[in-house]
Amino acid sequence: MASTVSDFGLSCGILPAGAHNAITDVPGVRVGHCTLRNGDINTGVTAILPHGGNLFRKKVTAASHVINGFGKTIGLTQVQELGSIETPVLLTNTLSVGTCATTLIRDAIRQNPDIGRTTGTVNPLVGECNDGPLNDIQALAISEEHALAALADAHEGEVEQGNVGAGTGMTCFGFKGGIGSASRRIALGGGHHLGVLVLSNFGRPGDLVLPDGRRPTSGQPAGDERGSVMIVLATDLPLEHRQLERVARRAGAGIARLGSFWGHGSGDIAIAFSTGNLVDHDESRDLVPLLALNEARIDILFRAAAEATQEAVLNSMLSAEAFTGRAGKHRASLADWLRDQQR
């Protein structure tokens, strides 16, 4: 059974979590997975849908922040330039980014036959981490059907975490990493949420610091910090693009609390979006109203981003079972290490 931070009496900050303690506590947000485990193939796709409608027609306000740029994402430049997301976000392994992007393009064209004909093209958004140590990444096992399966699996409510979807073959601080999520309730404007989902594949073995100060050892040799982490933040508070970029930047504080220093070989990237301001692709008005957070209230979101990111990474590790992957390479479970400490 998957474990989380609360099962071990650990606490990441002071803000309360949402009902599911997941990115899906933001109303309308959906998460789905497709997992591949077959011998040396240990990989997958994770899909994050900001809402259940046509994202090309009703885009969400968005921003990104590159903490360290050793990554191979698709779509970040347009997100930063136009401040919106117009497809689901797919996460996968490094060499499957192109396949997932093609899937998103085909799916957008299916819903919007005018794309590239009578209206603009579409900007697919895909993030990645390198699962090569535990997965035969050269096999290029991810197909468009797998990406479509992750999209079809997307649902509200509980988020499956650990060795699932894009997280199947990931490593974090020498332990088994994967998919993790967490959320915080925000007491602004009648009550809102900020949720985080991470794909954790970063951190130097021996550098992990738990919230209580303990430093777990995975048995893996210490080396350079490399790997990557993708961080997706969502909120139903109405934030404009610049505010979302500021919030995304604070995700770096969350991974720093864990002992990461964002090493040279790590791609650490955050994407943030708000469902509180939708962008109409077919807008005809010259001037459009925009509701935005009072900037003097933004500190609580900065805190929420740091706390939820820290907890999401720990949940990714605690939900992940011990794992033997490609060529017999093994990764221990952080949950098993903590259980051993309790004996």
DSSP letter at 222 equals P
Residue type, 326: R
CA gap 161, 193 in Å, rounded: 20
236 is known as an active-site residue: no
Catalytic residue (choose from 84, 96, 228, 333): 228
Strand ranges inside the chain, DSSP E: 30-38, 41-49, 58-69, 84-85, 89-93, 125-129, 171-172, 175-176, 178-186, 192-200, 229-235, 267-280, 323-324, 330-331
Residue 182 to residues 108, 214, 288, 304, 314: CA-CA distances in angstroms? 29, 21, 33, 10, 10
266 is known as an active-site residue: yes
CA gap 270, 89 in Å, rounded: 12
Catalytic residue (choose from 84, 96, 266, 316): 266
Residue 308 and residue 194 in contact, taking contact as beta carbons nearer than 8 Å = yes
Bridge partners of residue 30, in order along the sequence = 49
CA gap 108, 114 in Å, rounded: 10
> Which is it for strands 229-235 and 267-280: parallel, antiparallel or unpaired?
parallel
Residue 310 and residue 257 in contact, taking contact as beta carbons nearer than 8 Å = yes
Catalytic residue (choose from 25, 131, 236, 268): 268
Annotated active-site positions, please?
228, 266, 268
